[in-house]
Amino acid sequence: MAKGRPRAFDTETALDQALYLFWRKGYEGTSISDLTEAMGINAPSLYKAFGNKEQLFIRILDRYAEGPAAYMIEAFQQPTARKMIEALLYGAARATTDPATPGGCLTIHGALSTGEAGQTVKHELDVRRAGGETAMRERFKQAQAEGELPGDVDAADLAAFYSTIFQGLAVQGGAGASETKLRRVVDLALQLWPGSAQ
């Protein structure tokens, strides 16, 4: 049986090109022709290697989480909830304003404006954002059990508050705010940390 021809493109490079394209233009703003041009492949090769645009975008979200947004994973590995929030928010201020990448956050901006065709992707992003808030809430409950946070703090409300700050940083970063400005926002948000434990 004859072997198929080897791919004439580098998969990792192609995925990086797709990531930055989706990050700049969003899911619906990125066409298949945009992708094939950026990735240096034709449409049949794209579909064969990565599936349809929706499947490619979901793969790109995983790549983004493990690459440019890896600071989020690192934040949740911090020894205390307070240090976790500091790492998460200061990390967002830095990452969403990095001049080497598109502004903002792919997970926030990826499908802010989606029509009927983008509802599956919008749902995927909603689930991922909700998962982040849930993880934060559970970390706060753990902090209460360990005595880091007062027992009368509502962990769900605190998670909603800091998730809103986190997402707001991404929106502001995408709109051109400087890292210095966003770090001042983080400074204020951290002043509202409940209790005296630092």
Q: How far, in whole angstroms, is CA 3 from its chain's centroid?
A: 39
The per-residue pLDDT for range 46-89, each reduced to its tens digit, is: 999 999 999 999 999 999 999 999 999 999 999 999 999 999 99
Domains of the chain: 11-64 (1.10.10.60), 68-191 (1.10.357.10)
**pLDDT in the model for residue 115:** 67
Question: Residue 38 pLDDT > 60, yes or no?
Answer: yes
pLDDT band at residue 2 under the 50/70/90 scheme: very low
Looking at residue 39, its pLDDT comes to 94
Considering just the CA atoms, what is the radius of gyration of the chain in Å?
Answer: 19
Whole-number Cα distances in Å, 175 to 9, 130, 168, 170, 182: 34, 23, 11, 9, 12
Neighbour tally for 104: CB within 10 Å: 25
Cα angle for residues 134, 89, 154 (degrees, 5° grid): 40
CA dist 185 and 5 (Å) reads 53
Residue 179 in tokens: 């890292």
pLDDT at 112: 64
pLDDT tens readout for residues 98-108: 999 998 999 88
Helix, strand or coil, per DSSP, at residue 98: coil
Q: What is the pLDDT of residue 1?
A: 45
Q: Alpha helix (H) ranges present in 67-174?
A: 70-75, 81-95, 106-109, 119-145, 155-174
pLDDT over threshold 60, residue 172:
yes
Per-residue pLDDT, 109: 77
pLDDT tens for 81-126 read: 999 999 999 999 999 999 999 989 998 877 666 666 678 888 888 8
Between 198 and 18, the more confident residue is 18
Report residue 196 CA to chain centroid gap.
30
The CA-based diameter of the chain, rounded to the nearest angstrom, is 71
The pLDDT tens digits of the residues spanning 129-158 come to: 999 999 999 999 999 999 999 999 999 999
Integer CA distances (angstroms), 109 to 12, 16, 19, 102, 170, in order: 23, 17, 13, 11, 8
